[in-house]
Amino acid sequence: MGNDNSRRDFIKKSAILTIAGAGMRLSGNNLFAADGDAFSLPALPYPHEALEPYIDSQTMQIHHGKHHKAYVDNLNKAVKEAKLENIKLEDLMKDVSKYPVAVRNNGGGHYNHSLFWKLMSPAGGGEPAGKVLQTINASFGSFSAMQEKFNAAASSRFGSGWAWLVLKDGKLIIGSTANQDNPLMDVSELKGKPVLALDVWEHAYYLKYQNKRADYVNAFWSVVNWGEVSKLM
């Protein structure tokens, strides 16, 4: 037990140093902006193994290095074919109905995953405080009520998609989207500013949790980065 705790402490300290070094690269709108004529894969803000035992290292390696990278590569191809170079990703989302389906699918995949990595932390979990908790309580009655509703949205999304906590008109709402759609898209029924997101595609959890999506959803609360949620709000 002592060795396990020491290893986890080491991972957390390493992750904090990694975050500090990558902060400038991963902050603000630059995360979603085209770099020259191409979008790029953001570095993870922590080591692959940092979220264990909740999210395993192999899943993180494949999810980030294979799946997310494919979205970036395919998005770059799609925007060049549509002559949409040098446009911010958030702007693509707002008018995504005007663009080819490849822009919608891969642009959504890039935006959603770039956000998702930052919304998790090896030092995360627990309950939020301050304005985040106040807004949750005002919107849902309690933190536990919000969790229950979010879990239901994540667990009941049929097939692949995402669960969201969204800020709209000063109030938080919960919902889900299919595939790689998100609440910024003009085609989405759920609209607002994303402040928390959970990937419920099978590739996000199947290696560790197999068909037990609910277990994965519950584990997510142990790594939620409430500091990032606060920044987004």
Could you report the per-residue pLDDT of 103-117, keeping only the tens digit for each?
A: 999 999 999 999 999
Residue 43 phi, psi dihedral angles, 5° rounding? -70, 150
Mean pLDDT of 185-199: 97
Q: Tell me what the mean pLDDT of segment 16-30 comes to.
A: 37
pLDDT > 70? residue 32:
no
Average pLDDT over residues 83-106: 92
Q: How far apart are CA 74 and CA 140, in angstroms?
A: 39
pLDDT the model gives residue 29: 38
For residue 3, CA distances in Å to 6, 7, 9, 63 come to 5, 6, 10, 28
Q: Please give the model's pTM, rounded to 2 decimal places.
A: 0.85
pLDDT tier for residue 38 given thresholds of 50, 70 and 90: confident
For residue 184, give the nearest of 116, 114, 120, 112 by alpha carbon. Answer: 112
pLDDT of 28 reads 34
Closest CA to 177 of 193, 160, 192: 160
Tokens representing 183 are 């609440």
pLDDT band at residue 102, thresholds of 50, 70 and 90? very high
Distance separating alpha carbons of residues 220 and 151, to the nearest angstrom: 10
Can you give the length of the chain in residues?
233
Contact 158, 149 (CB under 8 A): no
Q: CA–CA separation, 122 vs 57, rounded Å?
A: 12
Average pLDDT, the chain: 88
Is pLDDT above 50 for 21?
A: no
Mean pLDDT, residues 16-42: 50
Neighbours of 197 (CB within 10 A): 24
Residue with structure tokens 């959803």? Answer: 217
pLDDT given at position 84: 87
User: Please, which pLDDT band fits residue 227 given cuts at 50, 70 and 90?
Assistant: very high
Output the pLDDT for position 7: 47
pLDDT of residue 27: 31
Give the model's pLDDT for residue 36. Answer: 52
